[in-house]
Structure 1
Amino acid sequence: MTSIPLTRGQFLLPFVSILDEIGAPTEALLGKSRLPSSLAEKSELYLPLLPALRFVETAQRTQGIEEFGYMAAQRLHYSHMREKTRALIAHAPTLFVALRHACYWASREDTILSMWIEHDVDHVRVCSTLSGTGGMLHLKYAQWIQNIFPIHIVRQFAGPDWMPTAIGFESAYSPGPETRSHWPNVRFHSNQPAAWVSLPDTLLSLSNPAAASFVPSRSQEGDGPSDYDIVETLKLMLPAYLEEGTIALADVADIAGLSPRTLQRKLAHLGLTYSDILETARYETASRLLRDTDCRIIDVAFSSGYTDPAHFSRAFRRISGTTPRQFRERSRLL
């Protein structure tokens, strides 16, 4: 069976709203591209990507809209991402883990979207491509949208005013002067192997302030919302047990008044595992001790529930993108 590339209707809404505001024949343009006219009611459903791109191209050409892709991307917010993706980011201990989650689940936003992280000396690039669309003239309209979501994710950790050091576009597109004026000190690169945003690798170990502000949708029925509550309960409870060694899933479930299977199901509903939560609790304990005390690194390892300092260092680097020693040195420079 031929695979049809899909995108969420959510990503077309900003284009539609711009067209509606200028009095364009939006429904006719949608119909010409074989897209549903009632997009607002189908924003969480998936639509064929190629007709969507053709719709944007036709609308831009016939309505004479400059920087259509950029204008639409400015209307997309962090909240437009799938709720489960936002939940994973909200419960990620660091920006590094949040970006890894975003990369892993990227295909749920667009079925042909691939995201990955590239390391380059003291910077990293968060890259993305739409498989099978290379060389398409109207690919440029998707490029800002591909790049705006990594920027929104970084801003959850680095603050709302954070700007990337550079932005790359896979297409030949180059932002005009007015668009550039909104991104001071950002370098733009065209004709790249992928779309990407660049950031200093020191940001990867930023701790997560997002969990407390994450408000899940209350439209779910059953035990959906309580799944988020159990994550916060575990993160509060586990640090008390870390020095005693790894507390087993069965023990945690018993303390929480759940069966192990129910606990696993609640976490799986969010795309998490018990190991994810335990690793987060360990990291948050370790990073606090490294930042706020003079404890030896071996003692930090033991206090965080690790019996092997080498294992601790590997786990810490996997979460933060840096070693415990480097993390301590950098945190004291701030």
Structure 2
Amino acid sequence: MHDNAKYNKAEDNKAIQETTVVRPVFIKPIFEHALALGLPVKEILRDEGGEEYYSLVYQPHTLTMAAQPVRVVMALAEKQGLDTFGLDAALNAGANTLLPEMRPLVESSGNLYEFLSNFCQYTNKYLSLFNFFDLESEPNGVFLRRNHNFMTLLASDSMEVYTLTLLSKLIENYLQTPWQPKIIWVSAQQVNAAFSTHFQSAHIFTHKSVSKIFIEDKTLAKRSPLYLAKSVPSATPMATPSMRALVLMALQPFALDALPTIERLSKLLGLHPKKVQLKLAEESCTYRQMLIELKAEHAEQLIRNTDFDIGTVALESGYTNSTHFIRAMKKVWGVTPLQFAKSIRNKP
């Protein structure tokens, strides 16, 4: 398992922090726990210039909310010495807020891996080019993690504890049985005793580059009782998607710097790697080509929608070596990334 270097520029970029958005479903538990403790949430929001912010969080049509007011509430809790605020907010959220909203995803996902894939796509859909959650492939499972580079900086240690606990409760909800990860990485320099006590069966590593929890293959393959109860055999046979479409769909939730090998992806799909390779060959493509094209699509989005330099685009597209990025993109675009960027950004 590897420890990716943290991209510090994000921490110093105030504009990115101020424009970060999150799904309302992740805000509600924080506000509800703060109100239960008597913290002046609505007054804080008023001072932040967001009198309507609180009500918008509870509107069904609201897709995303600015993260800055949440940071303020979390920071106040930390300032008042509420060391277990993040943990308690996540534990109290389970049955009341997050889990019911995730129920349609639970009932439509054939196993935990499929659920985590759907969850990542659901949460990231309206956020930004920088995914809030993604999967990191490992030989015997996956890490479910916060975004590796441009992380949502909601309020340091307390938010990391909140997020990791919430993710574990999310998996419990799918499995409908108590579950805890065996490995937890925390970007915070330390975690409080309550967090360690709650996850006492886990190996907790602090001061890491990114916060994430590990899920083993045998757990990823499990089906939820809610899925089994809801699943109804279809009378009409469904069209079989092409192998290319199936692979692309399976790759969507993965971080670009930690994409799975074809062996790992095939195992997650329940297929033999040779079958995947042969089917892709019949469709005139290879797995390697698909990975490069996936990264190229993301790089093009960044070039079109940001003013990032090429080094940053390379990093965000999964390349730690700019030379490899330039060589790969030239094969896709026919020109270097810098030439490609100039051709796009110079257009009226």
Fold-level similarity (TM above 0.5): yes
| Shift in CA distance, 154/196, structure 1 to aligned 2, threshold 3 Å | same
The aligned counterpart of 1:188 is: 204
Match of 2:89 in 1: 72
- The one of 41, 44, 47 equivalent to 1:32 is 47
For 2:26, the equivalent position in structure 1 comes to 11
> SS at the partner of 1:161?
coil
Q: What is the Cα deviation at residue 165 of structure 1?
A: 0.3
Name the CA shift for 1:209/1:137 in 2 (closer, same or farther; >3 Å).
closer
Give 1:197 deviation, angstroms.
Answer: 0.7
Mind listing any 5+ residue stretches in structure 1 that lack a counterpart? 215-231, 239-246, 250-273, 277-312, 324-334
Give the alignment of 1:155-234 within 5 angstroms: 155-172=172-189, 174-211=190-227, 232-233=231-232
Cα offset, 1:155, TM superposition? 1.9
Unaligned segments of structure 2, at least 5 residues: 1-14, 243-262, 274-348
8 Å CA contact 1:85, 1:101 repeated in 2: no
> What is the letter of the counterpart of residue 220 of structure 2?
L
User: Given residue 196 of structure 2, which amino acid in structure 1 is its aligned partner?
Assistant: R
- The TM-score normalised by the length of structure 2 is 0.55
Question: Equivalent residues in 2 for 1:20-169 (5 A)?
Answer: 20-36=35-51, 39=54, 42-43=57-58, 44=60, 45=62, 46-61=64-79, 63-77=80-94, 80-81=97-98, 86-108=103-125, 110-111=127-128, 112-129=130-147, 132-133=150-151, 138-169=155-186
Give CA-to-partner distance per residue, 1:167-215, whole Å, 9 cap, x none. Answer: 222232x22223322222112122223221112222121123222567x
Question: SS of the counterpart of 2:158?
Answer: helix
Aligned length: 235
Contact 1:157 1:208 in 2 (8 A): yes
TM-score (norm 1): 0.57
What one-letter code is carried by the residue in structure 2 that aligns with 1:48? A
- The alpha-carbon distance between structure 1 residues 82 and 165, as it changes in their structure 2 partners (threshold 3 A), is closer
What is the CA-CA distance between 1:108 and the residue it aligns to? 4.0
Distance 2:203 2:238 in 1: 49
Shift of 1:49: 0.8
8 Å contact 2:186–2:207 — kept in the other structure?
yes
Q: Give me the whole-angstrom Cα distance separating, in 1, the residues matched to 2:272 and 2:51.
A: 47
The CA distance in 2 between the partners of 1:315 and 1:196, in whole Å, is 20
Instruction: Evaluate the alpha carbon distance shift between residue 195 and residue 20 of structure 1 in structure 2; reply closer, same or farther with a 3 A threshold.
Output: same
Alpha-carbon deviations, 1:57-80, whole Å to 9, x = none? 13431x331122112111222674
What secondary structure is seen at the aligned counterpart in 2 of 1:151?
A: helix
- Name the amino acid aligned to 1:203: T
Instruction: Look up the match of 1:296.
Output: none
Secondary structure at the counterpart of residue 58 of structure 1 = helix
CA distance in 2, matches of 1:182, 1:9: 26
Q: Which amino acid aligns with 1:200?
A: E
Q: Distance in 1 between matches of 2:179 and 2:86?
A: 21
CA 1:54 to 1:22, structure 2 compared with 1: closer, same or farther past 3 Å? Answer: closer
For 1:17, what is the secondary structure of its paired residue?
helix
Secondary structure at the residue paired with 1:105?
A: helix
Match of 1:286 in 2: none
| Cα-Cα RMSD | 3.8
Task: State the alpha-carbon separation in 2 of the partners of residues 248 and 25 from structure 1.
Answer: 53
* Separation of aligned partners in 2, 1:202 and 1:146: 23
SS in 1 for 2:133: strand
User: Structure 1 15/94 Cα, relative in aligned 2: closer, same or farther at 3 Å?
Assistant: closer
The verdict on how the C-alpha distance between 1:131 and 1:52 changes in structure 2, with shifts beyond 3 A counting, is farther
8 A Cα contact 1:94 1:207, kept in partner: yes
1:237 and 2:235 correspond? yes
